[in-house]
Amino acid sequence: MLDVSPLFQPLAVGSKTLPNRIVMPPMVVNRGISTRAACDWYGQHAQAGAGLVIVEATNVTGFAGRYGAADLAPLAEAIHAGGALAALQLFPGARGQTTAPADLTRLQIDELVRGYAAAAAICAEAGFDGVEIHGAHGFLLNQFFSPEKNARRDAYGDTLAGRMALAVRIARAVREALPADTLLLYRHTPVGPGYSLEESLELGQELVDTGVQILDLSPSSIEEPGDHAAPFKALGVPLITVNDLDDVARALTVLREGRADLVAVGRGLIADPLWPAKVRQGRLDEIVTCTKCDHCFVDLRAEQPVGCVQWPRG
């Protein structure tokens, strides 16, 4: 029988303590974030044993006009009631938006930075333990970092420092908007169009120096679990790694080899929200395993509540 105890060790970050090393990563599930359905969904995953629940990418550009602290407080409370810490991922635009770095004026960049800071302050007031800046997966902030996607020749492009500038400025603005005891996370793709792992490490150092307390690397496994996260350990902050970590042996490898500090289980937690509880109890043969059929993505694209074909049908 596998010794799963490394997955259930607490982790102190700043003034917060994560009860274990299991993270529910941000996944858009078409249940909203201020609805009863959202509270039920995220609360259920917290109750099943995830130590940190990161709520799905939420557009900052319309945040203040749509969500106030009172709207989001029930969601943070539902996650806390389940025993997990709660974070919310902030996204730089509307879903499906195709804005490129060259499309933004300096004024629009300023507005985006203010939007991030305002949204972060609302999350903290609502009771969230942290906020995460989405800078991964080819979306806008990741495009600013990519020399193949960023054609700007001003302070927000051209050089590595320029390509890092927007991410660092947003991180600084968010950190300043948050109370000292609220965690700041940043999600980044270690290798992407035109940029290397070495350049990502430079960005990571700048972000840490600015006040980022957890780096969320995605995707972070290429040849071995967490191999693209491991170099970031030198930066001295906790790392989240992802990629097929519903495979318990792979998740344990990440922790035992010291490649990261936290393991994110994504689609595996859609297929089986009870994954953490079953792992803790040694009921590995009872886990409903994600088959990567991508039906959840079909639901996502159809703007239907995301589900799994393996769920019992009544």
Each domain of the chain, given as residue ranges in start order, spans 5-301
Query: pLDDT tens digits, residue range 71-115?
Result: 999 999 999 999 999 999 999 988 877 889 999 999 999 999 999
Question: Which tokens in the block code for residue 219?
Answer: 């995707």
Q: Is the pLDDT of residue 8 over 60?
A: yes
The pLDDT score that the predictor gives to residue 178 is 98
Q: Mean pLDDT, the chain, as a whole number?
A: 96
CATH code matching the domain that covers 5-301, chosen among 3.30.950.10, 3.20.20.70, 3.40.640.10, 3.30.930.10? 3.20.20.70
Share of residues in the chain with pLDDT > 70 (%): 99
**pLDDT (tens digit, 9 = 90+) per residue, 109-156?**
999 999 999 999 999 999 999 999 999 999 999 999 999 999 999 999
The beta strand positions in 235-286, using DSSP E, are 239-241, 262-264
pLDDT of residue 314: 52
Tens digits of residue pLDDT in 277-293: 999 999 999 999 999 99
pLDDT over 80 at 313, yes or no:
no
190-205 burial: b if 16+ Cβ within 10 Å, else e: bebeebeeebbeebbe
Q: Angle at which helices 160-177 and 197-210 pack, to 10 degrees?
A: 30
pLDDT of residue 209: 98
Per residue in 171-212, pLDDT (tens digit) is: 999 999 999 999 999 999 999 999 999 999 999 999 999 999
- pLDDT value at residue 63: 86
Convert the pLDDT of each residue in 9-51 to its tens digit. 999 999 999 999 999 999 999 999 999 999 999 999 999 999 9
